[in-house]
Amino acid sequence: MKFHIISLGCTKNTADSEKIAGMLAQSGFTWTDTPQESDLLLINTCGFINDAKEQSLGVIMESVSLKNNLPAGRTLKVAVFGCLVKRYYSEIKSQIPEIDYLFDFFNEKNIRELTSLNKQTGASCVNPGRFFTPAHIGILKIAEGCDNRCSYCAIPSIRGPFVSLDEESILENAQKLAESGAKELSVVAQDITRYGTDKGKECTLPSLVKKLSKIKGIDWIRLHYMHPRGLTVKLIDELYSIDKVLPYFDIPLQHVSPRLIEAMNRHTTLAHMIEILTHIRSAYPHGAIRTTFIVGFPSETPSDFNKLISFIEDYPLDRVGAFMYSAEEGTPAYDFARKVSHKVKQSRLDRLMTAQQLIIEEQNKRLVGQVVDVIVDSVEDGNAKCRTKFDAYEVDNSTTIHNCASLKPGQFVKAKITKADAYDFTAELIR
Asked if pLDDT for residue 72 goes beyond 90, the answer is no
Do 78 and 147 sit in the same domain of this protein?
A: no
Asked if pLDDT for residue 251 goes beyond 90, the answer is yes
Residue of 320, 321, 251, 309 lying closest to 284 (CA atoms) = 251
pLDDT at 106: 78
Query: For position 418, which CATH number holds?
Result: 2.40.50.140
Do 164 and 102 sit in the same domain of this protein?
A: no
Which residues, in sequence order, are bridge partners of residue 295?
324
Structural domain including 202 reads 137-365
pLDDT at 126: 45
pLDDT at 357: 96
On whether residue 245 sits in a domain, the answer given is yes
Do 310 and 347 sit in the same domain of this protein?
A: yes
pLDDT band at 120; cut points 50, 70, 90? low
Asked if pLDDT for residue 122 goes beyond 70, the answer is no
Structural domains in the chain (count): 3
Spatial separation of the C-alpha atoms in residues 270 and 210, rounded to whole Å: 30
Q: What is the mean pLDDT of the chain?
A: 93
**pLDDT tens figures, 363-387:** 999 999 999 999 999 999 999 999 9
Q: Cα 277–279–283 angle (5° rounding)?
A: 125
Query: For position 316, which CATH number holds?
Result: 3.80.30.20
Residue of 40, 113, 44 lying closest to 85 (CA atoms) = 44
Which residues, in sequence order, are bridge partners of residue 33?
none
Query: For position 43, which CATH number holds?
Result: 3.40.50.12160
On whether residue 79 sits in a domain, the answer given is yes
Do 271 and 142 sit in the same domain of this protein?
A: yes
**pLDDT tens figures, 255-287:** 999 999 999 999 999 999 999 999 999 999 999
Asked if pLDDT for residue 145 goes beyond 70, the answer is yes
pLDDT band at 129; cut points 50, 70, 90? low
- Written as one string, the DSSP assignment of 174-212 is HHHHHHTT--EEEEE-S-GGGTTTTT-TT--HHHHHHHH
On whether residue 125 sits in a domain, the answer given is no
Do 172 and 321 sit in the same domain of this protein?
A: yes
Question: At which of 332, 365, 398 does a domain end?
Answer: 365
Asked if pLDDT for residue 350 goes beyond 90, the answer is yes
pLDDT band at 74; cut points 50, 70, 90? confident
**pLDDT tens figures, 169-187:** 999 999 999 999 999 999 9
Handedness of CA 378, 379, 381, 385 (dihedral sign): positive
Question: At which of 365, 398, 416 does a domain end?
Answer: 365
**pLDDT tens figures, 289-342:** 999 999 999 999 999 999 999 999 999 999 999 999 999 999 999 999 999 999
Find out whether 391 and 398 touch, Cβ atoms under 8 Å. yes
pLDDT at 113: 83
Find out whether 401 and 428 touch, Cβ atoms under 8 Å. yes
Do 290 and 208 sit in the same domain of this protein?
A: yes
Do 58 and 171 sit in the same domain of this protein?
A: no
Do 351 and 376 sit in the same domain of this protein?
A: no
Do 351 and 419 sit in the same domain of this protein?
A: no
Asked if pLDDT for residue 128 goes beyond 60, the answer is no
Long-range Cβ pairs for the range 98-105 (8 Å, 24+): 98/64, 98/67, 99/60, 99/64, 101/77, 103/79, 105/16, 105/81
> What percentage of the chain has pLDDT greater than the value 90?
84
Residue of 229, 138, 240, 148 lying closest to 184 (CA atoms) = 138
On whether residue 43 sits in a domain, the answer given is yes
Q: 226: number of CA atoms within 13 Å, CB side?
A: 25
Quickly count: other Cβ atoms within 10 Å of residue 37's Cβ. 14
Helices assigned H by DSSP within 66-154: 83-95, 108-115
Do 18 and 65 sit in the same domain of this protein?
A: yes
Do 396 and 351 sit in the same domain of this protein?
A: no
pLDDT at 142: 97
On whether residue 37 sits in a domain, the answer given is yes
On whether residue 209 sits in a domain, the answer given is yes
**pLDDT tens figures, 399-413:** 999 999 999 999 999
As a whole number, mean pLDDT of residues 24-53 equals 91
Q: Tally DSSP H helices, then E strands, for the chain.
A: 12, 18
On whether residue 130 sits in a domain, the answer given is no
pLDDT at 121: 57
Question: At which of 56, 85, 115 does a domain end?
Answer: 115
Do 110 and 149 sit in the same domain of this protein?
A: no
On whether residue 168 sits in a domain, the answer given is yes
pLDDT at 125: 52
